[in-house]
Amino acid sequence: MSADSTRPAYRAGFACFVGRPNAGKSTLTNAMVGQKIAITSNKPQTTRHIIRAVLHRPDSQLVLVDTPGLHRPRTLLGERLNDLVRQTWSEVDVIGLCIPADEPIGRGDRFITGELAELKATVLAVVTKTDLVDKKRLAEQLLAVSELGEFAEVVPVSAVAGHQVDTLVEVMTRYLPESPQLYPDDMLTEEPEQVLVGELIREAALEGVRDELPHSIAVVVEEMIPEGRLTKIYADLYVERSSQKAIVIGHRGSRLKAVGTAARRQIEELLGTRVYLDLHVRVAKDWQRDPKQLRKLGF
């Protein structure tokens, strides 16, 4: 018997999750990849950079594109991020609309569902954070979601508990086109290390700050110098006002020190070397609304 006649066709393509901020898109992306590629936090609008992660299987390659949450923009940055999201939608084969199991379906979800219906991609509904609700509530949410729009499938999943994560990979792969391999075998992401490192610093800085401050934080990695088993990293953490700078630095620099320590641990894991992190806090006045500053900060 020839092996080829029984083997399923090789499939490869792109998929992304969409949904309101905090729906669990980045956490799910990491769980599916089995490695931390995207940063996550309990603050809305955590993701600002498009990150691609490649899931290799013997007969498929699923490229997951993590995008920011779609929201009503209040700044130029917000508008740019929404544009990035819509551009990604037009480029992927499969879209997973994420709706948390523990929150009622809202106007935002209806709005997004309407927009997705216009696209050529296959749209699945993904009910996230199923570990937060009981069976009855989950069943109700699955029903409500299936009535929300025309979805190819409705898949419940918990990234934190690891429930149904592999099933979701399988389902998404099923809707990819037949295609030759898109990326080399061992490639996990094409994002430059500098971007990932900056994101890990921002994630650490988001811990414990609130109100407007999380949105005002941006990180730029200026230099990464490998020196044998050590990597020296020079980075700037930007805020929008000097009052915010004082909060980020903390009493006698205590907060900044804690942020540096937390970030360094994560970066060491990513790079597999020891890390020396030189972190400075700077003010870029109202950068979220300033086109020149946005460019400088990589948007």
Ligand X SMILES: Nc1nc2c(ncn2[C@@H]2O[C@H](COP(=O)(O)OP(=O)(O)OP(=O)(O)O)[C@@H](O)[C@H]2O)c(=O)[nH]1
Name the site residues for ligand X (rule: CB under 6 A).
Answer: 21-27, 40-42, 44-47, 68-69, 128-129, 131-132, 158-160
Q: How far is the CB of 203 from Mg ion (least distance, A)?
A: 10
Q: How far is the CB of 69 from ligand X (least distance, A)?
A: 3
- From residue 287, alpha-carbon distances to 37, 273, 282, 295, 297 in Å are 26, 33, 11, 10, 9
Partner touching 131 among ligand X, Mg ion, none, CB below 5 to 8 Å by kind:
ligand X
Give whichever of 98 and 142 is closer to Mg ion, judged by the CB atom: 98
Partner touching 193 among ligand X, Mg ion, none, CB below 5 to 8 Å by kind:
none
Contacts with Mg ion by CB under 5 A: the residue count is: 4
Partner touching 24 among Mg ion, ligand X, none, CB below 5 to 8 Å by kind:
ligand X
On whether the CB atoms of residues 128 and 157 are closer than 8 A, the answer is yes
Give whichever of 81 and 197 is closer to ligand X, judged by the CB atom: 81
Give whichever of 63 and 281 is closer to Mg ion, judged by the CB atom: 63
Tokens of 230: 């050590």
- Measure the CA angle with vertex 267, ends 265 and 269; round to 5°: 75
Give whichever of 20 and 264 is closer to Mg ion, judged by the CB atom: 20
Using DSSP's 3-state secondary structure scheme, residue 58 falls into coil
Residues 14 to 53 in contact with Mg ion, rule: CB under 5 A: 25-26, 46-47
Q: Which residues contact 168 (CB under 8 A, 6 or more apart)?
A: 28, 32, 96, 126, 155, 157
Q: How far is the CB of 54 from Mg ion (least distance, A)?
A: 18
Q: Which residues contact 145 (CB under 8 A, 6 or more apart)?
A: 99, 105, 125, 127, 151, 154
On whether the CB atoms of residues 20 and 109 are closer than 8 A, the answer is yes
Give whichever of 26 and 61 is closer to Mg ion, judged by the CB atom: 26
Q: Which residues contact 58 (CB under 8 A, 6 or more apart)?
A: none
Q: How far is the CB of 47 from Mg ion (least distance, A)?
A: 3
Q: How far is the CB of 96 from ligand X (least distance, A)?
A: 11
Using CB atoms, what's the residue nearest to ligand X? 69
Query: Which stretches of the chain bind Mg ion, using CB under 5 A?
Result: 25-26, 46-47
